[in-house]
Structure 1
């Protein structure tokens, strides 16, 4: 079983990115890396997502590229074949978790309740995605989980911004946060890679 701890330690923020046009993939990834964020969770929400993932994996090797929004075993297989070096799911089922773990890449399964955390723990994992972080209870909820289950480390994602990220990062059971604010749709559409580089630089400075 691949250890996901190293994934959580790359950056205080993991950019959660949706790319519509594959030609934007490489310059976007390079802008993040130049800003000091050496990791990207590329969501499989577009038909061309796997193409974008493969381009980043091939042409921007300095960035750790993973695939997000994994919903099925087939998506997990395809993502790893395209070059994904870690997998992230918004939620998890026993079948999906089993299939992802069989691929021997780090896995961040999505959880939102204490019962889900315990179910993932039973499979030998102690690093998880907490999603959707804001609607599910935010920093207060994660702090409460930390009392009975202090050894699980989370990457909360969903509704987090540059302003609210520090509220999560100060918790002892939060290793990093996921956020889409680093790659705003308007900046990507305008190919404003300088803007994304600045946002990445701001995020990189959030480290404790």
Structure 2
């Protein structure tokens, strides 16, 4: 399935920064139970590849599971071997995009300028992450969509919460990367489920 298929199921990408392998499945259950379909474990979390392996084994048929904060192209093979199907970067590196695609995964690299966006699409990006979204605005996203190829999916990430989702959505955002507004280290599955419900309503 393509990125479009997953985002049409649910436009929210849950970013589980700091999640530990032993809690990953319970948190995943809470998210999938609320209808989320994309789960990202940043590589600066404790034992991230093990968390990805557990999440992919348990939810791989129902959710797109992958890694965030990927900065080294060499990590892509490890992520794919663990069952990950998604690579998200914080920066505009076409090499990571190419490595992710070579490993058969979807690539959603971070960008902030039109030049970066076009270079990443040329490298094979499946969607683009506007990061940090706090430094931009829905108006910036709308202007980018006017010049990027038709059908380009832009996902603002950074400071996204239930309060600002509607404005970004109206500007044409295809989805949203949600970090602290959906999971912070120490959150129980019940807390995560409640946060997910509020975000889904938005």
Normalised by the length of structure 2, the TM-score is 0.90
Q: Secondary structure of the equivalent of 2:123?
A: coil
Partner of 2:157: 157
Query: How far, CA to CA, are the matches of 1:21 and 1:121 in structure 2?
Result: 33
Instruction: Give the 3 Å change call, closer, same or farther, for CA 72–171 of structure 1 in structure 2.
Output: same
Structure 1 distance, partners of 2:26, 2:124, is: 37
Shift of 1:34: 1.2
Residue among 180, 191, 194 paired with 1:195: 191
Aligned equivalent of 2:49: 50
Alignment of 1:1-150 (within 5 A): 3-61=2-60, 62-125=62-125, 127-135=127-135, 137-149=136-148
Number of positions where the alignment pairs a residue of Structure 1 with one of Structure 2: 199
SS at match of 2:30: helix
Residue 15 of structure 1: how far off its partner (Å): 0.9
Structure 2 Cα separation of the partners of residues 49 and 139 of structure 1: 32
Task: Map 1:168-187; keep pairs closer than 5 Å.
Answer: 168-172=168-172, 174-180=173-179, 181-187=181-187
Distance 1:176 1:38, change over 3 A: same
Q: Alpha carbons of 1:5 and 1:48: their partners in 2 closer, same or farther (altered >3 Å)?
A: same
Q: Which has the higher contact order (CA 8 A, sep 6+)?
A: 1
1:144-190 CA distance string (max 9 Å, x none): 21222262220110111111111111122x11111111113342xxx
Superposition CA RMSD, Å: 1.9
5+ unaligned residues in a row in structure 2: which ranges? none
* Contact 2:97-2:124 at 8 Å conserved across structures: no
Structure 1 residues 94, 123: CA separation in 2 closer, same or farther (over 3 Å shift)?
A: closer
Unpaired runs of 5+ residues, structure 1, are none
Mapped to 1, the partners of 2:8 and 2:89 lie a distance apart of 18
Query: What TM-score, normalized to structure 1?
Result: 0.87
1:8 deviation in Å?
2.8
| Residues in 2 aligned to 1:183 and 1:47: alpha-carbon distance in whole angstroms | 15
